[in-house]
Amino acid sequence: MKKRHGVSSQRGMASIVITMVTMVVISLIVLGFAVVSRREARQSLDQLQSTQAFYAAETGVEDARKAIKTQIAAGLPVPDKTNCTTNDPGVTLYPTGNAMQVDSASNISYTCLQVDPSPESLEFDGVDGDSTVIPLTAASGSIRRVEITWTPTSTTGNPSVCPSDITDKFSPQSGTNAWQCGYGVLRVDVVPTDGALTRANLSTGSYGGFFQPVNYSATGSDNYAGNTGTPRLVAANCNTASYGSCKAIIDQLPGSTSASVRVSSMYQTSNVKVVAYNNNGVGGSPISLNGVQAKVDVTGKASDVLRRIQVRLPLVQTNTLFPGSAITSNGSICKRFETAPSYLSIPVIADADSSNAMCQPTTQGSL
């Protein structure tokens, strides 16, 4: 029987083509898996090294914190550190060189440590209804304008439902008519402290205002005019389209070199930032502020991965050095009052502490 060589050769060629195509497809699949596996391995390594670099940066922060505490305990001013790896001339306080190594065997260290004890802004997290008192001391020049911005620490409210006008009636904390706005109302008190702190000066030289977020465009600015007898209610400049920030501006300050600012956030806990300027109006360069916070900037490194963090370290415990209340007591304080002599008075109760001078009757029978 006669063989058909043409058909056999065509079948062989088809088998070779199919085999080659299959091998190419399988090779591409294997190569793809290899690339994906390598990428995932690299991502896992990068994540690990990123975490190591972050902790290396935190080590730098803690080293700076220890150095600052040592300086404060010795009653000495906290110096600048403007160079990454060396101290400024005449300073030996901060770690340098090998002291910045965290794990030399694994190539983990912090490669840059900078400390600014006079930052151009002061930042406070978690400001609530309890007062936070912030002393402002200008490193140079005088304070003529203070700008305060605040952002909510949570998104429990709706920024678009802030009040549409300014009224002197605030909403209750809870209930049907509770405050729904996503931003807190910021109370701000400003007292210049570089002059004589007499009763008369404090009475006429203090500013008090409530900055209320609104859902319309507002400047958020109010001029300092001393104590008018009634705290002002001002529309704050807020981004009500999203969870941005609100701004309060106290302008036309008398040009003090130091002042105390007391802030509290009603309805919502807020993160607050304070900046002071040497000019009125808008613009200008912020003033460096001494003695409250140090801005620490650290870059951590693990192999070829870098992480940079910035933190604020307190140079003074503001809420203990500058309390928000006039009297703080660990025990009870006896309170007594009368509306008119011998008419409606509260006498000393029988079980009152006779050793407490505040519970002793006066000659008029009241304290």
> Which residues neighbour 62 within 8 Å (Cβ) at sequence distance 6 or greater?
none
Of the listed ranges 77-81, 218-222, 232-236, 324-328, the one predicted with least confidence: 324-328
Which residues lie closer than 8 Å to 206 by C-beta, 6 or more apart?
189, 190, 191, 226, 227
C-alpha span between 298 and 237 (Å, rounded)? 33
Select from 118, 113, 123, 126 the least CA-distant residue to 62. Answer: 113
- Out of 6-20, 86-100, 229-243, the most confident range is 86-100
Contact by Cβ (8 Å): 300, 61: no
Say whether pTM exceeds 0.85.
no
- Kindly state the DSSP code that residue 159 receives in the 8-state scheme: G
Whether residue 8 is predicted with pLDDT greater than 70 in this model: the reply is: no
Residue 287 pLDDT exceeds 80: yes
The DSSP 8-state label assigned to residue 26 in this structure reads H
pLDDT band at residue 6, thresholds of 50, 70 and 90? low
More confident position, 283 or 1: 283
Residue type, 353: D
> Comparing 147-156, 212-221, 258-267, 314-323, which segment has the lowest mean pLDDT?
314-323
Mean pLDDT of 267-277: 94
**Of 196 and 230, the one with more pLDDT:** 196
Residue type, 300: G
Q: Which of 181-185, 195-199, 235-239, 353-357 has the lowest mean pLDDT?
A: 353-357
pLDDT of residue 280: 87
